[in-house]
Amino acid sequence: MNHSGEFGICRDESIVTARCRLRYPQESDIPHIWSASQTPNFNDGLRWSPPDDIAEMSEPFRAAQERWTSGEEYSWAIESRADRDFIGWISIRREPEEGVWSIGFWTHPTRQGQGFATECAAAMLEFGFSRLNASMITAAHAPWNTASGRVLQRIGMRCVRRNPTGFEKNREWVEELEYEIRPE
């Protein structure tokens, strides 16, 4: 069986939007993730620090697949419906509080500014509320990351607080603006 977690999300399942298909990540995505991660400043607003060598990408990639199997987090590669080209990555992760999930996303630098993050983040909210039965979905971004903030505002999320200790990166706290949305 390729079902995973209590919600029975299948690995061969996809989410279709106007221009994109969100699907289970495949090894062939790694060179695209690597290429995005090598763009100057691309990783600054992301929690991860990419490895120094593409060969070391397999381990975090497999870890993301394992989180899917355990139902802890569903990460989707975003591809173009028109030509199946890689566009980006979007995840929805289970938070400790019952019924609460959080979303995170990025688009490849060659694909930014075309509405793809907005289109796919809206689809991820719909997936969270309808398939994961989320009672609340959260997100966060560093205050300087206004592109991310605009995506979240466009999909109807509300900024609820500023958290000075959002996440730790390079041994320093990164401040974050936190957002929420409920099904209603």
Ligand X SMILES: CC(C)(COP(=O)(O)OP(=O)(O)OC[C@H]1O[C@@H](n2cnc3c(N)ncnc32)[C@H](O)[C@@H]1OP(=O)(O)O)[C@@H](O)C(=O)NCCC(=O)NCCS
Separation CA 134–CA 149 (nearest Å): 21
Does the footprint of ligand X cover residue 137 (CB under 6 A)?
no
Residue selected from 21, 32, 94, 141 as contacting ligand X according to rule CB under 6 A: 141
* Residue closer to ligand X (CB basis): 115 or 183: 115
Q: How far is the CB of 147 from ligand X (least distance, A)?
A: 4
Cα 99–Cα 180–Cα 120 angle in degrees, nearest 5: 90
Q: How far is the CB of 85 from ligand X (least distance, A)?
A: 14
Residue selected from 76, 116, 127, 129 as contacting ligand X according to rule CB under 6 A: 116
Burial label for 14, CB within 10 Å (0-12, 13-18, 19+), is middle
Q: Which two tokens stand for residue 155?
A: 């999909």
- Listed in sequence order, the residues at least 6 apart from 158 whose beta carbon sits closer than 8 Å to its beta carbon are 179, 180, 181
Does the footprint of ligand X cover residue 89 (CB under 6 A)?
no
Q: How far is the CB of 21 from ligand X (least distance, A)?
A: 16
Binding site for ligand X (CB under 6 A): 42, 45-46, 105-107, 112-118, 141, 145, 147-148, 150-151
